[in-house]
Structure 1
Amino acid sequence: MHVAWMRRLTPLLFLVPAVQVYARDNSLFTSSVTYCSEPDALLIQQFDVTYFQKNSSIWFNISAASVEPNVNVSANVLLNAYGMHPVNFTLDLCSLFHGALCPLPTYNFTGSDSVPLPSSLGVNEKIPSITFKIPDLEAFVQLTLTDVNTGQLKACVQATLSNGWSAHQVAVEWATGALGLLALLSAIWHSRSPDALAPYRLFDLLYLFQWAASIALLDLNYSSVYVAFATNFSWALGLFPASTTSPIQLSINNMRHLTGGNMADASSGSAVALVNRQLSPYNAVAALPTSYQTTNLARETLVTLGNLTTPGLIPRNFPSSVQELDNAGTVQLVTATSGNVLQAGVPIYVEYVGIATANAFMTIFLVALMLLAILTASLALGYGIVVLAGRRTKYTDLLRRRELYPAFAYAWLLRVCLVAVTPVSIFAMYQWTLKDSWLSVLLSVLLFLGLLGFLLLSIFHVVRLALRATPYALYTRPKTITAYGPLFALYRPERYFSGMLFLVSILVKAIFTAFAQANGEVQVISILVVECAVLAYLLFLRPHKTKGADILAIYLALTRVICTGLLIAFIQNLHVAAIPRVAIGVVIAVIISIAVIVMFINTLVNLSLIRVPARFRRRKAPPSVVSTLEKGGNEDVPGRPRNPTPERNIPLDTTINQPYLESPSETTTEEHSNYSEESGSTTLGSLLPRRWSLQPSAGSHSRTPSQSQYSSTSASSPRHSHPPSPLYPHSASHSRHPTIDEHEPITF
C-alpha cells in the first residue's frame, strides 16, 4: 500500500520546478553521519557509502576504529524509509568470519573500494525504482552495537540516505532572483508615474517569496521536500546561503561571543544530521533493539561479502593505520538530551542555508544596511543627474520632476521599508527570545523600532490628511501621492486604508511566528485566521481600482489561505504519516510555483510585453496624479492650476453652489481660455468644444443678478455650477468659469 502511494506521488514530484530534469545514474548514498549514543567501542571519522542500481555495486570510503578491548557485540541494522522499516534485523557477530569479530578488534581501518554485489541477493528487486527519483528522500540507516554479555549499548550510528534529487536548487535561486531583479527594474522605470502598477507589483512579488519562506519557520514537522523548496526563497528574507568560512558569518560569530553570546555556531556538516529525531527525515525512530533476531538473509549477506575480503577482515586495498583515533572528527553526537539538536522552525530553516540560529537576525541586519547604502547612493546619483540636467534645459516637465524628487526618494525609502518589514519583524522578535548576545538584542530593538516608527509616521500623515480633508485629497496632491503612494495609491479612495490593514496582518503573523515557536498549533491556527480575514476583506470590499488588481489580490490571498490550511497536516501532535506529509509538501510547493509563474506573467504585463483584456481595466477611479499634472490639478507645485475634478459625485454645498453674478462680458468663449491663478479655478487648461460656447440669451445683453444663469443651449435651460473641489472649496466662490456637466464628453 505504501509503495502504491509513492507511485501515485511520482507525477506530482516532477511538477516541482526545483527538481532537475537531466539524466543521472540511479544511486543511493549517505548524506550525513551522526552518533545516536556516546561512542564507547567504535569511533568514526568518515563514512561514505554509495549504492549504484545500474550494476548493483557499492562504493565505500570508511575511516573508523575500535578502541575498547574485549568487547563481544551483536549488531542491529535498521532502515527507516518514510517511517517504515523494510529492513530491521539483528545478528551475532561472533558467528561470522570464524569468530574474527569476537572480541571486536582494537585497531584502525581506513580505505575505499567498489564492491559488486552478488545477483543472488536481489537488492534491485527489493528497492522500488521510485526511491531513486523522490526529491529529498526521507530515509536513514541505523547501526547499533550491543554487548552480548551485559546488554550495554556500545555504539549507535545513523546515516541518512539521499538519491541526489532535491527541491532546493541553485538554479531556482538564481531564477527567482532574476525575476525579482526584472520586477525591480520595471518598478524603477515606471515609478516616474505614481499611477503605474509595476512598483506595487514589486512588493507583491517579493512578499510572495517572503511568505513562501516564512511559512517554513513554524514549529511543525514539515516534510523534507518542502523545507528544501522553501530555502529557494531564503534570499528574499535576507538569508543568503553561506558557509562556516564566510567572512560575514565569522564576524558575526566573533561579535556574539564578545558580547555574551554562548549559542553554537553553524555546523560545518549537513544540517540534516542535527535535526530532532522526531522530525523528518527521521520520523520518530524506533526504540533501540534489546533482542537478537539473526536472519538467514543477514548471515548470507555478510558471509558473501566476507568472501571478497582477505582472511581477517579488511579488504586488500585498505591501508591500515597504527595511530589510534582519539576523537570522532566532524561526526556529531545527537541524542535526546543534546544541546546541539535543531528544533522545528527557525533553527532548522536557517541551518539549512548554512547560518547559525543566533546569527539569523544579524545576517538580516547587515543585509539591511547594505540595501540602505545602495538605495541612498542610487537616489543621490539620480538627484545629481536631475539637478544637472535641469540647469541645462528649461523644460517644464524636467523642472517639475526636480521639484518632486524628494517625494520620489521618500517613496522608494517607503517601498524598501515595506519589503523589509517581514524579515526584520520576524527575526528581530525571534532574537529577543534567544537571549544570546546583548548587542544583537540591542541592534534588533533599534532596527525594529526605527522601521516601525518610519512606517507609523507615514501612515499617520496619510490618515491625518484623509480625515482633515477627504480621501480624495490623497490622490489629487502630487507630492502626497508621490511620497506616500506606496501605502494607498493602489486602492480606491474610500478604501485608501487597505494597504495599512495588510501591513497590520504582516505584523500579526510575524508576532505569532516569532513568539509562539513552542506551539505549532497556535502558530498555524492564528496565521490561518489572519489569512482568512484578509481574503474575506478582499472578496467583499474589492478595494482596488481595477478588476484585474482585485482578481490578482484575491488569487494571492486564496493561495496563502490554501497553503496555510495544508500546513495543519504538519502539526506534530496529529502524527500524520510520512508519505501523506510528503504529498502535502509537494502540493504546497506546486501551488506556490504556480503563483510565482502568475507573478512572472504579471511582470511581463507591466512591461507591456503582454496585453490585458480591457474588461479587467474598467473601473472608475479618481484622477491620477499624471492626469492631474497634465490637466492642471496641482497645489504643491507652484504655477500649476489647482482645480482637479473628481470623477465621483461629491455632495454639494448649497451655500457655495450659487449662480454666478458676473456679466456676460466676463464669460469665456471657445476662442479664449479664461484661466486665472488668482481664482484658483480652471477648465483643466483645455479649450471647450463649440457646443460648450456660452452665449447670452436672445435679446438681452445684460442681466440682473437674480436672472443670471448660464446655459449651453438657451436661457430656458439653466445649468448649475460644477461641485467645488474637495481640496479647495474656496475656488468655487472665485471661479469665473462656466459649469461643465460631468456627464458630457470633454475633449482634452
Structure 2
Amino acid sequence: MISRVARLRHIAPLILIFSSLAAARDESLFTSSVTYCSPPETLLIQQFDIAYFAKNESIWFNISAASVDPNVNVTANVMLNVYGMHPVNFTIDLCSLFNGALCPLPMYNFTGSDSIPLPSSLGVSGKIPSIAFQIPDLEAYAQLSLTEVSTGALKACVQATLSNGWSVHQVAVEWATGGLALLAILSAIFHSFAPDTLAPFRLFDLLYLYQWAASTALLDLNYSSVYRAFATNFAWAMGLFSASATSSIQVSINNMRHLTGGNMADATGDSAVALVNRKLSPYNSMTSSAFIDTSNQYAAVGVENLWALTDMTSTNYVSAASVASVKELSAAADVQLVTQSSSNVLQAGVPIYVNSVGIATANAFMTVFLTFLIIAAILLAVISVGYCVLAVTSRHGRWKEHLADWQYRYPSFSRAWLLRTCLIVFTPVTIFALYQWTLKDSWLSILISVFLLVAVVGYLLYPVFLTIRLALRSTPYALYTQSDHLASYGPLYAIYRSERFYATTPLILAIFVKALFTAFSQANGEVQVVAMLIIECALLASLLALRPHKSRGADVLATYLAITRVVCTGLMIGFLESLNLGAIPRVVIGIVMAVIISVAVIVMFVNTLVNLGLMRLLPARYRRRRDDIPDGSVLEKGADDTDWRPRNPTPQRNIPLDPDVNQPYPDSPSQTLTDRHSAYSEESGSTTLGSLLPQRWSIQPSQPSTHSRSNSQSQYSPSQSNYSPSCSNHLSTASSPRQSVPPSPLRTHSPSHSRQPTIDEHPSFP
C-alpha cells in the first residue's frame, strides 16, 4: 500500500510549480489540527502538538492533557490513514509498558514539551515514503483510541491531521495574482482615454478567470486537499479576503447576525480542516467501527450538553469528574468534538471553502457585501475627484479648449466604469446572495442580499435593454455610430462585431444560471457538475458558431478560455462522492486542474503586458507594421489581433499588363480628344467608363480640327488592319510613333470583348 503512495513521486515535478520558495528545509511531519472523534470520558486534551523529523528520526511533542477517571485499565490503538490507506494500525497494552506505571491510568494533569529520539528498532523511517515530506497538502491523519480492557468501552478517541508544511495555498501567489489584477486595472484606466486597445475589456476576462477558478471549489464535491487549497488563492477575487476569527470585520458581522436572529456558528480560530466531514479529504473515509458505534451512542449528546448527564444515576456515559473537565474544555474551545451527529461539521462546497480562509459560513455574503461597498466607495471617490479636477482646470484659458470635449464625455466615461464594475462583481454577488437565502440565518443579511442583488442585476439589465432597443429600432451598426451610447454602454458590446453585439448576453445569463445551481443544489453534487458542464459547453459552442469578436486573435483567446473551463469542469466529475474514486487519482486530477488554470493565468498575464503596450519596446522588425493593419474599427488594432478580417477584400499585389497590347500614347491634343470619343464604340457597344486610370493624366481644353478628328477616327476604327478584335480583358492603349511609356502596373477589366483605348499620361505634365 505504501508503494501506491510512492506513485505520487512521478508528479512531484508538477507540484514544484506551485511552490513559492525552493529553499531546502527539514523533512518533517507534524499535527495541523486535533479533534475528539468521540465524547471525552477518560482523557481530556487541551493541546496536542507532535512533530516527526526524518533527519534524526526524533519526535518533538507539546502536550497538555488530563486523566480524570480512576481505576481505568486501557489499551491504546494507533491508526494512520494516508490517502485512504492504513499503513500503520497496531494496538498497545499500556499495562505492559513502563513496568505497569500506566495501568491503571494515573489521575493527574500532564503538561510537557520535549524532543525524544526514536530507537532504530522501530523502523519508522522505512514505513514513511519520502514523497510524504514533499507533496503539498498531505492527506493523512493519526487516530488514537483508548479502550477499557474489562468492558471494551471506548474511553477516548483523538484524531490529529498531519502536514509536512508544504501547500499550494501561498500568500505569494495571492499577491502575484492580485498584482496582475492591479496592473490590468491601471492599464484599463489608462487606455480608457484612447479607445484603440482591448485593455479595458481584458480586465473583465482576467478577473472572471480568477472568479471562475474560485467558484469551481464551491460545489458539493469531494475535492482533493491540494485543489481546494489551490482554489483559495483566488478567494480575494470573490471578495473573500483571508481573515481571522478575531478580526474586527468578522466580529462586527457576528454581532450583527446574532442581534438580527442569526444562530449559526462563528468561524473557528483553528484550522477548518479539523471540522471537515470525515467522508471528505483529508480524511477520505469513515473512521473505525468503534468510533461509529460510540458516536451512535452519543447521537443526541453534544459537548455543550454533556454536563446535563450528571443527574443520571448510571455512570455508563460520563463520570462527574469528566463532566467538570468537559465544562472547562468547552469554555476553552481548544479541541472540538467532531462526530457524525455534530452540528459543527463542515460539509462540502461553500462551508469548507469560506472557513478555509477564516470566514464563517453565515458571514460569507456580508463579507462580499462589505468588499463591494469598499470598491464602490473607491470608484465613486475617483470619479468625483476626476470631475473636480476637470472643472477646476477647465477654467484656465490655456486648458479650456483642450478639456471642453472631456467635460462633455466625462459622464459617459463614468457610466461605462460603473457598468464595468457591476460586470466584475456580478459573479460573487449572485452566488453568495442566493446562497444566503438558503441559510435562513439573519433577516438583515437576507434583506441586504436582496437589495444588493436587485441593484447589480438592475444596473446590468438596463443597459442591455437600451442596447437591444437601439439595435432593433435602427440597425446594429447604429450602436457604433452614436458616440454617447457607445461611450456609456460600450463594455457590453464594443469588443464585438456589429452583427454580434449581443454576444455578452449568453455569458451574463450563464453566470446567473451557474449561481443558481451553486446556491440551491448544495446537497446534490451530480446535478451541479452536469449543469455546469452543459453551461460551459453551450458557451463554447456559441463562441465557435458566432465568432463574435472583431479579430481572429480575440476569438482564439476567448475560445481558449472557454475550452479551459470546459476541460476543468469535465475533470471535476472525478470528485463526485458517488464514484468513490481513490484519493490518489483525485489528487492527480486536482493537480492537473491547477496546472491548466495556472497556464491560463500566465496567458492572461502575457496578454495584459501586450495590451499595456510593451510590444512597442521590441525592435521594429519584430513588430507588425502599422500599414499592415486595415482601416476600420479602432478595436481591431488591439494586441489580440493575430489576424484581421478586411470588410472589402482586394488583391494584395499588382497584376502587370500584357506588354504586347500596351502601346505608346499619341502626343497631339486631337488624338487625346479622339480617345475620349472612342471610349464608346458603336460597333462593339462597349465602354471603358469606370475603369481605373493612372494617377497622372490631363486633357487639353482646346478643340481639335475636323481633319484631325477624321484622322483619329480612321486610325482607331475597327475596320483598320492594325486593329484586331479580341476577347481579351486587357486594357489597350493607342500607339504613337514619337514616344512610348512603360507599361502601367495596373490592370483593369472591361466588359467589352474588344480592346479599346483609354486616356493615358500626357508627357508634357510633370
TM-score interval, normalised by the smaller of the two chains: 0.7 to 0.9
8 Å CA contact retained: 1:547, 1:618: no
8 Å CA contact retained: 2:30, 2:51: yes
Residue 610 (structure 1) shift: 2.8
Instruction: Tell me the residue number matched to 2:254.
Output: 253
Instruction: Tell me the residue number matched to 2:7.
Output: 5
Q: What are the equivalent positions in structure 2 for 1:492-507 lying under 5 Å apart? A: 492-507=497-512
Instruction: Tell me the residue number matched to 2:586.
Output: 581
Cα gap change, 1:605/1:105 in structure 2, threshold over 3 Å: closer, same or farther? same
Distance 1:578 1:88 in 2: 19
Q: What are the equivalent positions in structure 2 for 1:365-404 lying under 5 Å apart? A: 365-392=369-396, 393=398, 396-404=401-409
Distance 2:343 2:129 in 1: 37
8 Å CA contact retained: 1:379, 1:409: yes
Residue 288 (structure 1) shift: 3.3
Q: Which amino acid aligns with 1:125?
A: G
Residue 287 (structure 1) shift: 2.1
Distance 2:633 2:195 in 1: 12
The superposition leaves residues 341-378 of structure 1 with CA deviations (integer Å, 9 ceiling, x where unpaired) of 00000000000000000000000101111111100000
8 Å CA contact retained: 1:69, 1:105: yes
Q: What are the equivalent positions in structure 2 for 1:441-480 lying under 5 Å apart? A: 441-480=446-485
Q: What are the equivalent positions in structure 2 for 1:641-680 lying under 5 Å apart? A: none
Instruction: Tell me the residue number matched to 1:90.
Output: 91
Cα gap change, 1:696/1:407 in structure 2, threshold over 3 Å: closer, same or farther? farther
Q: Answer with 191-200 or 82-91: which moved more.
A: 191-200
Percent of aligned pairs sharing the same letter: 64
Residue 161 (structure 1) shift: 0.3
Tell me, yes or no, if structure 1 residue 127 matches structure 2 residue 128: yes
Residue 257 (structure 1) shift: 0.2
Distance 2:699 2:40 in 1: 105
Instruction: Tell me the residue number matched to 1:27.
Output: 28
Tell me, yes or no, if structure 1 residue 516 matches structure 2 residue 521: yes
Cα gap change, 1:140/1:490 in structure 2, threshold over 3 Å: closer, same or farther? same
Q: What are the equivalent positions in structure 2 for 1:536-615 lying under 5 Å apart? A: 536-610=541-615, 614=624
Q: Which amino acid aligns with 1:194?
A: P
Instruction: Tell me the residue number matched to 1:278.
Output: 279
Residue 91 (structure 1) shift: 2.3
Distance 1:230 1:563 in 2: 13
1:349 to 353, 359, 363: 353
The superposition leaves residues 542-594 of structure 1 with CA deviations (integer Å, 9 ceiling, x where unpaired) of 11011111111111111111111110000111011000100110111111111
Distance 2:87 2:347 in 1: 27
8 Å CA contact retained: 1:18, 1:229: no
Cα gap change, 1:179/1:155 in structure 2, threshold over 3 Å: closer, same or farther? same
The superposition leaves residues 111-165 of structure 1 with CA deviations (integer Å, 9 ceiling, x where unpaired) of 1001111122221122111100010000000011112222211111000000000
8 Å CA contact retained: 2:40, 2:326: no
Instruction: Tell me the residue number matched to 2:140.
Output: 139
Cα gap change, 1:69/1:497 in structure 2, threshold over 3 Å: closer, same or farther? same
Q: Which amino acid aligns with 1:506?
A: I
2:432 to 427, 442, 451: 427
Cα gap change, 1:694/1:35 in structure 2, threshold over 3 Å: closer, same or farther? farther
2:16 to 11, 14, 17: 14
Distance 1:424 1:534 in 2: 21
Q: Which amino acid aligns with 2:368?
A: I
Residue 390 (structure 1) shift: 2.0
Q: Which amino acid aligns with 2:143?
A: Q
Distance 1:394 1:469 in 2: 38
> Unaligned 5+ residue runs, structure 1?
292-322, 628-645, 650-688, 700-748
Distance 1:621 1:575 in 2: 58
Q: What are the equivalent positions in structure 2 for 1:683-702 lying under 5 Å apart? A: none
- Counterpart secondary structure, 1:610: helix
Instruction: Tell me the residue number matched to 2:220.
Output: 219
Distance 1:334 1:473 in 2: 63
Residue 618 (structure 1) shift: 8.4
Instruction: Tell me the residue number matched to 2:164.
Output: 163
Distance 1:626 1:378 in 2: 29
- Counterpart secondary structure, 1:21: coil
- Counterpart secondary structure, 1:104: coil
Q: Which amino acid aligns with 1:502?
A: L
8 Å CA contact retained: 1:193, 1:626: no
Residue 431 (structure 1) shift: 0.2
Q: Which amino acid aligns with 1:240?
A: F
Residue 232 (structure 1) shift: 0.7
Q: Which amino acid aligns with 2:90?
A: F
Residue 621 (structure 1) shift: 8.3
8 Å CA contact retained: 2:223, 2:575: yes
- Number of residue pairs the alignment of both structures matches: 610
8 Å CA contact retained: 1:475, 1:624: no
- Counterpart secondary structure, 1:45: strand
The superposition leaves residues 375-413 of structure 1 with CA deviations (integer Å, 9 ceiling, x where unpaired) of 000001111112222222366552112101000000000
Cα gap change, 1:698/1:77 in structure 2, threshold over 3 Å: closer, same or farther? farther
Instruction: Tell me the residue number matched to 2:112.
Output: 111
The superposition leaves residues 288-329 of structure 1 with CA deviations (integer Å, 9 ceiling, x where unpaired) of 3599xxxxxxxxxxxxxxxxxxxxxxxxxxxxxxx9785334
Q: Which amino acid aligns with 1:7?
A: R
Instruction: Tell me the residue number matched to 1:63.
Output: 64
The superposition leaves residues 694-713 of structure 1 with CA deviations (integer Å, 9 ceiling, x where unpaired) of 999999xxxxxxxxxxxxxx
Q: Which amino acid aligns with 2:11?
A: L
Q: Which amino acid aligns with 2:206?
A: L
> Unaligned 5+ residue runs, structure 2?
293-323, 617-621, 638-644, 649-692, 704-766
Residue 7 (structure 1) shift: 1.6
Q: Which amino acid aligns with 2:199?
A: A
Distance 2:219 2:477 in 1: 41
8 Å CA contact retained: 1:194, 1:626: no
The superposition leaves residues 414-440 of structure 1 with CA deviations (integer Å, 9 ceiling, x where unpaired) of 010000000000000000000000000
Distance 2:437 2:118 in 1: 55
Distance 1:371 1:696 in 2: 73
Cα gap change, 1:403/1:18 in structure 2, threshold over 3 Å: closer, same or farther? farther
- Counterpart secondary structure, 1:146: strand
Could you say which structure has the greater relative contact order, defined with CA pairs below 8 angstroms and 6 or more residues apart? 1
